[in-house]
Amino acid sequence: MKTVKIAMMLLAALAMVSCSDFLELKHESNISADDFNRTEDELYTSLVGCYNGMQGALYREWAMTELRSDNTRIYARTSSTSIFDVIRQLDLSTIQPINYLVDEYWAGNYHNIERCNTVLRDYAVVGDEVLRNQYKVEAMFIRAYHYFNLVRLFGGVFLVTEPVTAQEARYMQRSHPDLIYDRIIADLREIVDNAMLPDTREGDELGRITMPAAKALLAKVYMTHYAVGTEEYAKARPLLEEVIATVGNPQTAADLVPYADIFDINNEMNREIIFAVRYKAGNLGLGSPFGNEFAPANSGTNVINGSGRSYNYPSTSIIDAFNAEPGDLRKDVSMAEKYYNQQTDTWVDDDETTQCRYVKKYLSPVETVDDGESDWPVIRVGDVLLLYAEIVNELEGPTPEAVNCVNMIRERAGLQPLSSEKTANSYVFRTAIRNERRLELAFENQRWFDLLRWGIAVDLIGEHYRQEFIYSNLPNDYQPTIVEWQTLLPIPLNVMNINPELTQNYGY
């Protein structure tokens, strides 16, 4: 378990405010601007709220990303649970603007963007220039992270860069995606070009944003927004090279953290983790819900205390991908196909009649339901190495350096190096990199974004619908399909109702 000494600033703030006051940061809209951020300590507490607020945005992100990919699916053909229909909508690409998971995700991101904007408005209250600039760019990074997710999922969204009143918000219009990306890039470039963050964090600062995190996020933005081979796309390469150098320039799997240790709650913020959304168990209101969210429904205490809900249910497709090469160590760390029922002394493993599969990456013992310890990695070394292999391959082809980046990841997973047939040219090596990213980053909310970035979401998910067994046995013989406009989420109905002149995404 992490202690207060090694926990991020989110927990350090407990020393400055009472527990109840601290948790009120989740509802910062209730704090008057005239009564807060007038001192350095208060601004620090507001910045803590920005880190804290990332949990609210992440809470439903699995449903916007993994569930819409080929990694996970609905957990049953039919169900009487109240959430089943909205989960089914996201899985089957039949999403409605009234879908409350989409609404919660949108609100979680914008609530935290507002927190960041408040810090950016008031950061001058900090006397020390270096500290003042660090607070500023930490808020900028978090805001850029939220906007990057929003623009990829919704397209044009509200570009809000300073606190606004309810009346002002009522008449805002969505900004073009290019303007959103321009702001994201400008903010991240300011951080990177001026070296405004440290390369590493230690002690009480462990978990706060670093320069490698900013560079890696900016590189991913370039590789997402710009066409392969363009000058802007190529700007990601030196950024990734710098990140790799900063994290130790690994050359073999021995230089990497063993895969199982990456997600071990006794090894949090290890050198694999470049940035993560952090959680703290102990009934502080800061625990992770994902152990219970993803554990099998009706499993009692056999998997986790308080049972599970079977959300983010692993697909047959991801199981087949893990099984394609025997001995992949990542499978057992990432997911399970069955669990042991101690009461009946049997294995629960029949996916036709029970919910037996589950995601394991965020599973940790809990005393209280939804109060886990596991952090959620946002950027890590494996991700960066595979991005670097990808961009080198797109710009130069399968160079030895690019191939070695992939083989390091494979060696860590217990697999043999890629065969010469899979590195013979840029086309076959591209396929190998994409497959490796799927397995390495499974259930980390990366897959859907990768499919969008590669421009293959519609074709691949259409094939997934045709091949995954559950989709051929839905009620009324319904067969799901997907077309291009469905890759974007609808603007939530609650948002549309506030401003009747607001434009909805096409098709909704």
Q: How confident is the model at residue 14, as a pLDDT?
A: 31
Q: What is the pLDDT of residue 3?
A: 33
Residue 327 CA, distance from chain mean position: 27
Tell me the residue type at 11: L
The answer to whether 209 and 197 have CB atoms below 8 angstroms apart is yes
Please tell me the predicted confidence (pLDDT) of residue 35: 63
Asked if 218 and 239 touch (Cβ cutoff 8 Å), the reply is yes
pLDDT in the model for residue 34: 52
Beta-carbon neighbour count of residue 395 at 10 Å?
16
Q: CA angle 269-270-273, nearest 5°?
A: 70
CB–CB of 416/410 below 8 Å? Answer: yes
Q: How far apart are CA 442 and CA 318, in angstroms?
A: 8
Q: Which two tokens stand for residue 60?
A: 């439903």
d(CA 319, CA 328): 11
484's tokens = 């291009």
- E strands present in 5-154: 72-73
Q: Is 87 exposed, middle or buried (0-12, 13-18, 19+ CB in 10 A)?
A: buried
Q: Which residues of the chain have pLDDT under 70?
A: 1-35
Distances (CA, A) of 463 to 77, 101, 159: 19, 25, 35
pTM above 0.85, yes or no: yes
Handedness of CA 226, 230, 235, 238 (dihedral sign): positive
Distances (CA, A) of 370 to 50, 149, 192, 308, 365: 21, 24, 36, 10, 10
Tell me what pLDDT residue 11 has.
37
User: Phi/psi of residue 280, each to 5°?
Assistant: -140, 115
How far apart are the C-alpha atoms of 356 and 313, rounded to whole Å?
A: 9
Q: What does the pLDDT read at residue 165?
A: 86
Cα distance between residue 113 and residue 105, in whole Å: 12
pLDDT digits (tens, 9 = 90+) for 206-223: 999 999 999 999 999 999
Determine contact, residues 429/422, Cβ cutoff 8 Å: yes
| DSSP helix/strand/coil, 110 | helix
Neighbours of 332 (CB within 10 A): 12
> Which residues have a Cβ under 8 Å from the Cβ of 20 and sit 6 or more positions away?
none
